[in-house]
Amino acid sequence: MSQDLKQIIKDKARQLGFILAGVTLPESPPHYSTFENWLAQGHHGTMNYLATDRARAHRADPKNILPECKSILVLATAYDSPLPSGEGLGVRGKVASYAHGDDYHNVLPARMEELVHFIEEQAGGPVKNRFYTDTGPILERDLAQRAGIGWIGKNTCLIHPKRGSYFFISEILLDLALEPDPAFTTDHCGTCTRCITACPTDCILPNRTLDATRCISYLTIELKDDIPVELREKIGGWVFGCDICQMVCPWNRFAAEGDPAFADDPSSSLRTPLVLTDELTLTPQAFNHRFKRTPVTRAKRRGYLRNVAVALGNTGDKNALPALENALNDDESLIREHAQWAIDKIKERERATHQDRTDP
């Protein structure tokens, strides 16, 4: 009965747009010690919510979240792979592919809730549950590997051999006994180190974790203060997130077509490289209108325009100077400081170029 019910639930999950589904048990994560060591080394940066006693206790044992939990359903939802648009040089910028459409935090919970209602109908009564998608204190990739969804790659992403890594992970903790799926135990990264070599900031660590304080996604989204000066040039044209370590992964040649909910929003055209000088003029109202349904709002206007200023500085294009100089009048000191850095960087390159031309 458990096996039959599990298959019925998986079929319904696919109807709701989840491309992969697997079941595991609420046991202590085998990689929890890795997580604790990662915290101890400060690789979580300013994400202090990860290090609270409550969050750590929940990650150490899913039953601390739902004591009645008997099984965990792990789900995957695809988003579009990035366009092969290079590094976005010139007065252009790039947003990570997952953020081009609706915010998954708003889309996936409704689907999981619908799936829970279906499970309760099949079970013949209420089923205690908790569900998350990058929102709860659990080790998602650890659970997904145990549920047979894929393996944790050297770039720390969960990779499926036929679907790549461009997908969101969600979990439903259930007071319902379902037969667990075999764990995904094979490592298909082999000797490949493309992601490690390609990372501009060298944030990928040897033990399949990363130093978040050097990761472009962290620097452009999670970090709310100044971007370290020594890392600014390495960010290139990225203004929200980063896809580099996934773009170079050979397994993403098998990436699934993305869910329509996360496709590009025609009103924002985020899949088209952004004209950064235009982005730098966004008022608070214009920013909220442009990005109100997307994950970009997580950076807030001050963080996003901070990133835009850095990306403009990295172009070395003197045509960006008027927009940057105008940004020196912004109400936000964070934006002003990074705009000044960008101006100095562009003028410094101009002086170096002029010197090269005049040298005999």
The pLDDT assigned to 166 comes to: 96
Domain annotation covers residue 327? yes
Contacts of 310 (CB under 8 A, 6+ apart): 227, 232, 235, 338, 341, 342
Q: Calculate helix-pair angle for 300-315, 284-291, nearest 10 degrees.
A: 90
The pLDDT assigned to 86 comes to: 43
How many domains does the structure of the chain reveal? 2
Are 244 and 319 within one domain? yes
Q: What's the CATH number where 45 sits?
A: 3.40.109
Choosing from 140, 174, 208, the residue where a domain stops is: 174
Q: Which of the 8 DSSP states describes residue 221?
A: I
Domain annotation covers residue 94? no
pTM above 0.85, yes or no: yes
The pLDDT assigned to 93 comes to: 78
The pLDDT assigned to 272 comes to: 57
Are 278 and 212 within one domain? yes
pLDDT along the chain (360 residues), means of 10: 86 97 95 96 97 96 97 97 55 82 94 98 97 94 97 97 96 97 96 97 96 98 98 96 96 89 66 81 94 93 98 95 98 98 95 66
Domain annotation covers residue 42? yes
Q: Which of 178, 127, 167, 171 is nearest to 29 (CA)?
A: 171
Domain annotation covers residue 268? yes
Domain annotation covers residue 290? yes
Are 211 and 160 within one domain? no
Choosing from 174, 205, 223, the residue where a domain stops is: 174
Domain annotation covers residue 93? no
The pLDDT assigned to 255 comes to: 86
Q: Which of 151, 135, 88, 146 is nearest to 311 (CA)?
A: 88
Are 237 and 299 within one domain? yes
Beta-bridge partner residues of 95 = 240
Are 216 and 339 within one domain? yes
d(CA 238, CA 164): 22
Choosing from 142, 174, 206, the residue where a domain stops is: 174
Are 228 and 272 within one domain? yes
- Annotated active-site residue in 4, 11, 134, 202: 134
Contacts of 74 (CB under 8 A, 6+ apart): 21, 22, 23, 24, 140, 143, 144, 147, 149, 169, 170, 171
Domain annotation covers residue 184? no
Are 295 and 328 within one domain? yes
Q: Is 243 a catalytic residue?
A: no
3-state helix, strand, coil in the chain (%, to 5): 50, 10, 40
Are 219 and 155 within one domain? no
Q: Tell me which residue has tokens 């070599």.
A: 197
d(CA 89, CA 236): 8
The pLDDT assigned to 355 comes to: 65
Domain annotation covers residue 140? yes
Cross-sheet strand order for the sheet of 167-174: 20-24, 71-78, 167-174, 129-132
Residue range(s) defining the domain that contains residue 135: 2-80+99-174
Are 165 and 274 within one domain? no
Contact 246, 153 (CB under 8 A): no
